[in-house]
Structure formats: structure tokens, C-alpha cells
Amino acid sequence: MQIAQNSVVAFHYTLTNEAGEVLDSSEGREPLTYLQGAGNIIPGLERQLLGRQTGDKLTVKVEPAEGYGEIQPQLVQEVPRASFQGVDDIAAGMQFQAQTQGGPLLVTVTKVEGDTVTVDGNHPLAGEVLNFEVSIENVREASGEEVEHGHVHGEGGHHH
């Protein structure tokens, strides 16, 4: 079956960056399942899987604009340590939910120097060109309820 609007698609993937480093893979796990057209996966991948079918193996290249976005320098900020109340040891790599004008944002601590903490609100994969090796395992039509909810139910999906 071909992937069309409102198809439920199960696929295996290996994600590498431009340097050829593997960033993520579904190998050894269940395939990833999504509802075509519902924005469950990044736009560049969803767009390029449209029209493919079960058994297809392909490489999909996704530019940052259709992936996790370009790096936005204004999302890197220096904040005083005092703004992390209740956290004793702040270290690079820690993640916090920050309240911003645009709503909650997940930020990662990138540097701690004295009383100054540098946080980065960019997605870890922002600015990266992504290469997906994709193997399409299964395609089926979504149920009316799945379309209504905008996600997949049952195997590989939501249970509720």
C-alpha cells in the first residue's frame, strides 16, 4: 500500500549527520509508527515519504529548515546562577524547563562559570543536515478515531 494522507506508517530508520556519525536508530527496537499528514515526525521526512510503499528502502536527506530548524543565537543566554533556585549543583548537560514568552522551552546548560550559567534553548539537532536510511515496514489506512486524534493507536502508538 502506498503512503498517502492519513496512512499509518511503520518504518525502520538510521539517522546520521553530515559527518556520517549515527545519531539515532530504530535497530533492535520496534519500527517507528506515525500518522501521515499529522505532523508526528519532522516535516522534511514526512514530505519525502509520501507516495512510498511497504518494502521501499530509501535515503532521505533533510535540511535544517525542514528538520529541527536553524540554530537561533538568541536562544543561547547567560543567566545568573541565582535563577536556578533549589538546584545545588548546576553542570553542563543538565536540562531545565524554562518559562519564556513563547511558552515552556527545554534548555540545556552548556557552560557554568562562576555565578554565570549559559543555557541553550536550541534543539540538539538544530542546524544539522539529517540523513535517514529508511525501510518502510508497513502501511495501513488510519481509523477515523486516529485521524481525529492526530496520532496512531494500538501497536507502536498511543494506548488510551
The contact set with Zn ion (CB under 5 A) reads 149, 158
Q: Which residue, judged by CB position, is nearest to Zn ion in the bound state?
A: 149
113/145 with CB nearer Zn ion: 145
Look-up of cell digits 533556585? 85
Beta-strand runs (E) in the chain: 7-16, 22-25, 32-35, 57-62, 76-80, 95-100, 103-113, 116-120, 130-141
Here the cell at position 16 is 546520521
105/147 with CB nearer Zn ion: 147
d(CA 142, CA 160): 16
Report yes or no: 155 and 34 within 8 Å, Cβ to Cβ. Answer: no
Closest separation in Å from C-beta 152 to Zn ion: 8
| Amino acid, single-letter form, for residue 42 | I
Here the cell at position 159 is 494506548
Closest separation in Å from C-beta 149 to Zn ion: 3
57/158 with CB nearer Zn ion: 158
140/158 with CB nearer Zn ion: 158
Report yes or no: 36 and 23 within 8 Å, Cβ to Cβ. Answer: no
Closest separation in Å from C-beta 24 to Zn ion: 25
Closest separation in Å from C-beta 8 to Zn ion: 12
